[in-house]
Amino acid sequence: MRVNSGLTMQSLSKIVVASQHYPPDPSTTATIMEEIACRLAEEHEVLVLSGSPGELPSSQAGPRKPRILAVRNRTTGKAALVRRAVAELLFVVRAFFALMRELRRGDVVLTVTAPFMLPYAVAVAAKLKGARSALIMHDLFPDVLVMAGLLKAGSIMTRAMRAANVLMFRALNVVITIGRDAERPLLSYQGMTRSKIRFIPNWATLAPAPRPLTTGNPFRRALTARFVVGLSGNLGFTHDPDIVFAAARLLKNDSDIHFLLSGWGIGFERLKQLQTDADLPNVSFVPRVEEAQLEAFLAAADLWIIPYRKDVAGVSVPSRFYNLLAVGRPVVIVSEPEAEAALTVVENGLGWVVTPGRPDQLAETIRMASRSDVGAVAARAVRVASKFNLATAMDAYAGVINELLRSPDMRGQQ
């Protein structure tokens, strides 16, 4: 009896997920990679190369769960740039050798752009071992570093990274984007074709449903202002904390409006220093909110801000965006209008888009929102958030992986 060789190869192949961030790491990237690995493990053998030490949650144990292989990794503070770069480089080197040991011909390896050097190692290892490779592109490098002012657009390092990207994109079988705006910069690279791109947006982790504004909300109880503007999550190199604080300064005499800020990253350290110096009466900070309290915190504000620096389109997409919609709140996006979150806001009437670097425009938009019926946005926001759900995203990831496992054309690329 003849056996279908394609099916035999697929049944013997495994999926390797390479990620520096994985539970027990509490980061958004870790949560995303865990969800994907666990969904794929329902149908396939899955090995996770994890750079996050510590005890795994109970959800990771048992049959049809990924097998975890720890890759030694030294964690450093985000602000310690040199030490962080060295630690990440060492992790990538160790991950590369782990891939060379574990990968077999016909396997599929899935990775993410954190740290930015990891996809290069994955592409090389997959090519050498006859495996297929897929990259989830959360951020496009070196564009993110140029946008943040850490690299010059024409520097030797920038040009070298772009040259390396050409080789990487040529070697990768699939690039998964989480924003439609990523297609244009990707296609500017030789070796990158539209047929390699798959668009799978992130999802809301909170159940989509309108959350009423209540004076009993624990995060709102101490505030006397009628209209609360919120800022939440990680503020990294791509974000602009100064525009938020400058807008708060412009609105400091408007007793109806108050800024409620909670998060982490270098941007929040910058905001705290600005507040220490200025002591604005309309600004309050809340310690980093844990997952169990996230729903209450997001429901505490009337309006949410996501502040990016200029040139964000195609470079980065805010994952927190979908949870803001899930609780039924309008959003102000500081970005170019062609950025993914801005497109979603405008297409569905979910808030406002403000030009980067214009705190006066942001302040005026907040003032206008405070006088508008923002409650009318709730139903639209919840309806849109329901489209960005976990099950849909996981089915899409499973579809891409199955395509890689069974496609003769993709095997032929190796």
Mean pLDDT calculated for residue range 37-47 = 95
Query: Does residue 411 surpass a pLDDT of 50?
Result: no
Domain containing 145 equals 5-203+390-413
pLDDT at 237: 84
Q: Which amino acid is at 414?
A: Q
- Is 91 inside any structural domain? yes
Average per-residue pLDDT for the chain: 90
Residues 194, 232 within the same domain? no
- Is 220 inside any structural domain? no
**Cα dihedral 58/107/181/341 (nearest 10):** -10
Residues 265, 400 within the same domain? no
Enter the tokens of residue 80. 């310690």
The per-residue pLDDT for range 361-390, each reduced to its tens digit, is: 999 999 999 999 887 888 999 999 999 999
Res. 3 pLDDT band, cuts 50 70 90? very low
Report d(CA 50, CA 145) in Å as an integer. 25
Which 3 state secondary structure label does DSSP give 396?
helix
Mean pLDDT calculated for residue range 300-326 = 91
Q: Which residues contact 11 (CB under 8 A, 6 or more apart)?
A: none
- Is 114 inside any structural domain? yes
Residues 268, 341 within the same domain? yes
pLDDT at 78: 54
- Is 317 inside any structural domain? yes
pLDDT at 132: 96
The per-residue pLDDT for range 81-94, each reduced to its tens digit, is: 678 788 899 999 99
- Is 156 inside any structural domain? yes
Enter the tokens of residue 344. 């979603």
Residues 194, 96 within the same domain? yes
pLDDT at 408: 52
Q: In this structure, how many other beta carbons lie within 10 angstroms of the beta carbon of residue 295?
A: 18
Residues 179, 240 within the same domain? no
pLDDT at 4: 40
More confident residue, 136 or 13: 136
More confident residue, 312 or 297: 297
Per the CB < 8 A criterion, the answer to whether 225 and 284 are in contact is no
Residues 54, 174 within the same domain? yes
CATH code, domain with 325: 3.40.50.2000
- What is the CA angle 196-197-199, rounded to 5? 150
What pTM, to 2 d.p., does this model score? Answer: 0.87
Q: 């019926």: which residue's tokens?
A: 373
**Cα dihedral 52/53/57/59 (nearest 10):** 50
Total number of domains in the chain: 2
Residues 248, 288 within the same domain? yes
Q: Which residues pair with 316 in a beta bridge?
A: 139
pLDDT at 1: 32
- Is 239 inside any structural domain? yes
- Is 106 inside any structural domain? yes
Q: For residue 395, what is the enclosing H or E element?
A: helix 390-406
Report d(CA 185, CA 150) in Å as an integer. 19
Q: Which amino acid is at 188?
A: S
Which 3 state secondary structure label does DSSP give 71?
coil
Report d(CA 140, CA 314) in Å as an integer. 7
Report d(CA 109, CA 47) in Å as an integer. 9
Residues 177, 43 within the same domain? yes
